[in-house]
Amino acid sequence: MKRIISLLIMSAIVLSFIPAAAPAAASSFKPITGWDMMKELGIGINIANTMDARPWGCEPEKGVNNACANSVCPRGYGHCDLNWSCEDRRANLCTVECTPQQWNHLFNNHMETETCWGQPKIEKWHFEAIKQKGFDHVRIPITWELHMNSNRKIDAEWMARVKQCVDWALEAGLYVVINTHHERSTSQSLYNLSSHSFEGARDWLVDVWTQIAGQFKDYSEKLIFEPMNEPYPRATHGWFWDYDVFADEIPPYANRVNQMNRAALDVIRKSGGNNSRRVVQLAVIQASSYLLQYYEPPPNDPYTMVGIFYYQDYKLEHIKPALDKGIPVYVKETGPIDMQTSGVMSNSAAWVKEYIGLFASMGIPCAWWSSFTGNDLAGLQDRVTGKWNKPMVDAFFAAYGRTAGPDMPPPAFSFPYTFATSIIGGNYIYWIAPVASEAIEKMIVEFTGTGTQGGYSFSIPDPSWRQFDDGHNRVTVEPGKITFDLRGIMTGARLGFAAWDDGFASRITRIYIDTWEGSSVASDTPSLANFTKTRSYTPGTFDDIYLPDGSNEWYTEWIQRAYEYGLISGRTGTKNYDPRGDLTGAEALTIGARLHATYKYGAAERDTKIDAHAKTGDQWYDRFVLYCKAEGLIGNQLDSKLTVPITRSEMVFAWSKLLDAKDLPKINTVNSIPDVAPASLYANEIISFYEAGILTGSGDTGIFNPNNNINRAECAVIFMRLVEQSIRTSGRVYG
């Protein structure tokens, strides 16, 4: 049965529906001083590159060139390519302006900025996963200037979206920090504190925080305001990179930041509700730990603290004096980033231990700057898959003498999909691939007319996409229709279709997904009866599967039987099976492809189906990997481990979809497995193999050792139990 999801996108592409949310507010307010808040915030994380995202290089046509002409270009740092010269960098950040059409398009579709830096939209489960991991607070950086009119009136829909995210975080039990982040497009922005624009920047800050404070005035003490992120003198220098060189110029700018702090604090305190005693985290110029010496705390207000950054700023001598003066300090952004290259430092774990450990020893809370882990090796949370950067997370928590909690996988995604709009180049739609139970085999874009002038693109920001391009006949263009072959796309992958020309985009009538006629989803009938022995094992086929006296090892018969089914082979050019050798990702997928193709198509068709994916110049294993992906058995999870050993849990995942549920009946009871937590990676797949008698584990309790490598002898036992139901273990109760 086909499952067709029609997406009438012409109106939905412009605006996403934001459900109304009741304020998480209404709980009683318990005043807490800035000093006590410093103790409460503990370990935090930034929801980075999302609500703060904005199109770099797309500036309004209001004096940006003049303001940026004299910028100092720091070596190898910026939001541009690291190899660009200073001139290239200035050209990108200063002289590249939006056309009026692009600027209007941005403001007409402003809700889509949340995804314009490649991050998924924030969902409720993200905050629940953060809390489960053990974090105490989240900082939600927010850019507001793209979501207001010429009178600085903040758009109601954007405000509702911000409130929705804050409510979710508070409901998860987290402290929450919200701010103004990348406000930089006008001569009166927060990043233009030269003398001629200071008053305008202060007025902007007052206007914006009058609205924000009013919206959140009834929220609990767990919500913290941060009026400014990192104010700096953009018009003259862009950044004070050498404190000694600019020693005479820093004080007047620092004084302006102090004045901005007072102005924002004043309007917040007068806004009513709980804001008279809400903690407000104030700014220091450039958020620098060294320039903290210029910070002036407001008098007679115990409900403030000061926020700084700490990446690779080696000057820390002004932090302890601030603490000694009774000024509570908060490291609102940190991470092992080399500020000269914007790259991840090679000694990341050691850096975290030393510097985060130092802050922890002083009782200072820190919030890690974390974007999508797949693109940022210093990131912590992959908000698509729910996975965490374990080495960095463990180091972060260890610095505070704590242990990180378990991962939380994403919930089952459901339709409708999430829409977004590209900032500069036209209409764009993306979504998260649903769980495997949904049939996703192809996507169809239908449009009026016959041409696609202006161009379009389809992408999956996921390494497996490189194998699903035009060269593999994955895209078919017909009059009025484009079809994309999605077989093999991993669950949780981000899929994107972009129509770069508004003329073409306006002719799109619908986008939907479907299954292929004759696909496994529709009509194939796989069967264990397809497994038959295709050859006989003769003594001497393998020389290394016996004991020294020639008698059998525990695994000898398993390997011989698997060989007779044609599912395994020895090491190339030898008579060695290498039973104690580690199984690589490529070997696991090769065995998996052979088993699945036999199960689904029969032994006679097995090699034909697999070889259909071969191409000139391939590695020996490529056709097996591509077969597994095309059949939807796996996505890109093992791409980085094709030539290296895989773990026992990864092996189970690679083979978890080889057989249909009808051929994996539950014949054991699993209450628990000692070393497989319910929320751990691939736990569901491991438990299902225990229930089906494929796995038994070690000892009476069935210990699995999920993170150990699996050897070639052990894997022979497992895939033989997949093939022959009669040898599966039954009747056991685990836990």
214 contacts 271 by C-beta, under 8 angstroms: yes
Q: Regarding predicted confidence, which is higher, 460 or 357?
A: 357
Range 353-360 average pLDDT? 94
Average pLDDT over residues 391-414: 84
Per-residue pLDDT at 54: 74
Q: Report the relative pairing of strands 427-432 and 419-421 from DSSP bridges.
A: antiparallel
Task: State the Cα–Cα distance between residues 497 and 475, nearest whole angstrom.
Answer: 12
Phi and psi (nearest 5°) for 110?
-65, -20
d(CA 445, CA 467) in angstroms, rounded, equals 21
Residue 430 pLDDT greater than 60, yes or no? no
More confident residue, 41 or 491: 41
The candidate with the shortest Cα–Cα distance to 37, out of 260, 302, 333, 295, is: 302
- Is pLDDT of 314 > 70? no
Q: pLDDT > 70: what percent of the chain?
A: 70
Distance CA 463, CA 596 (A): 23
- Alpha carbon 166 to its chain centroid, in Å, reads 19
536, pLDDT greater than 60: yes
Q: Give CA–CA dist 329/331, Å, rounded.
A: 7
Tokens representing residue 285 in the block: 């110029």
Q: Residues 86-98: pLDDT tens digits?
A: 444 444 444 444 4
Q: Are strands 175-179 and 137-140 parallel, antiparallel or unpaired?
A: parallel
Looking only at the bridges linking them, the beta strands covering 456-459 and 494-499 are: antiparallel
How much is the average pLDDT of 223-251?
77
Specify the higher pLDDT residue, 531 or 105. Answer: 531
pLDDT of residue 190: 57
Of 260-274, 353-367, 531-545, 683-697, minimum mean pLDDT range:
531-545
Q: Is cis: bond before 416, omega within 30 of 0?
A: yes
| Least-confidence region, from 216-230, 249-263, 325-339, 567-581 | 567-581
In whole angstroms, what is the distance from residue 633 CA to residue 711 CA?
22
| Exposed / middle / buried, residue 241 (Cβ in 10 Å: 0-12, 13-18, 19+) | middle
Q: How many Å apart are CA 287 and CA 281, to the nearest integer? A: 12
Residue with tokens 């009538």: 509
Q: Measure the CA–CA gap between 176 and 281, rounded to whole angstroms.
A: 12
697 or 71, which is more confident? 697
Q: Provide the token pair at 184.
A: 């930089």
pLDDT of residue 241: 64
Residues 6+ apart with CB under 8 A from 14: 108, 109, 421
The answer to whether 592 and 655 are in contact (CB under 8 A) is yes
Under 8 Å between Cβ of 460 and 494: yes
pLDDT value of position 533: 84
- Position 25 scores a pLDDT of 44
In 387-538, which ranges are E strands? 419-421, 427-432, 442-447, 456-459, 475-478, 481-485, 494-499, 508-514
- In order of 517, 598, 607, 608, 616, the CA distances from 612 in angstroms are 18, 15, 8, 6, 12
Average pLDDT score over the chain: 77
SS3 call for 126: helix
Residue among 718, 717, 646, 711 nearest 682 (CA): 646
Pair 649, 682: CB distance under 8 Å: yes
For residues 430 and 344, the model is more confident at 344
Tokens of 391: 């080495």
pLDDT confidence of 620, banded at 50, 70, 90?
A: confident
Local confidence band at 496 (pLDDT 50, 70, 90 cut-offs): low
pLDDT at residue 608, rounded to an integer: 86
Residue 30's pLDDT is 94
Residue 70: pLDDT over 70:
no
Q: How far apart are CA 461 and CA 484, in angstroms?
A: 15
Determine the pLDDT at residue 523.
Answer: 36
pLDDT at 619: 85
Strands of 136-262 (E only): list them: 137-140, 175-179, 223-226
Mean pLDDT for 555-559 is 88
Q: Which carries the bigger pLDDT value, residue 60 or residue 522?
A: 60
Helix, strand, or coil here: 577? coil
| Separation between Cα atoms, residue 71 and residue 400, nearest integer Å | 39
What distance in Å separates the CA atoms of residue 498 and residue 478, rounded to the nearest whole number? Answer: 17
Of 363, 295, 367, 305, the closest CA to residue 331 belongs to 367
Residue 431: is its pLDDT beyond 70?
no
Q: Per-residue pLDDT averaged across 213-236, rounded? A: 88
Between β-strands 427-432 and 337-338, what pairing exists: parallel, antiparallel or unpaired? unpaired
3-class SS of residue 564 = helix
CB 723, CB 558: distance < 8 Å: no
Cα–Cα nearest to 670, from 650, 655, 688: 688
Lowest mean pLDDT among 37-41, 136-140, 608-612: 608-612
Per-residue pLDDT, 21: 39
pLDDT computed for residue 504 by the predictor: 67
Q: Name the pTM for this structure.
A: 0.57
Pick from 40-54, 162-176, 366-380, 721-735: least confident: 366-380
Cα 122 from chain centroid (whole Å): 10
Question: Mean pLDDT over residues 567-575, rounded?
Answer: 76
Query: Which segment, 106-110, 288-292, 628-632, is predicted with the most confidence on average?
Result: 288-292
CB count, 10 Å around CB of 694?
Answer: 23
Q: Is the pLDDT of residue 432 over 50?
A: no
pLDDT at 31: 96
Token code pair at residue 485: 């072959």
Question: 3-state DSSP call for residue 94?
Answer: helix
The neighbour count for residue 654, using CB atoms within 10 Å, is 26
Asked if 434 contacts 440 with a C-beta cutoff of 8 angstroms, the reply is yes
Q: Which distant-in-sequence residues (6+ apart) come within 8 Å of 613 by Cβ? A: 622, 623, 624, 626, 627, 630
242-256, 313-327, 432-446: lowest mean pLDDT where? 432-446
Task: Quote the pLDDT of residue 677.
Answer: 87
Lowest-confidence region among 342-346, 511-515, 694-698: 511-515
The predicted structure's pLDDT at residue 332:
97
Percent of the chain having pLDDT more than 90?
Answer: 34
| Per-residue pLDDT, 492 | 46
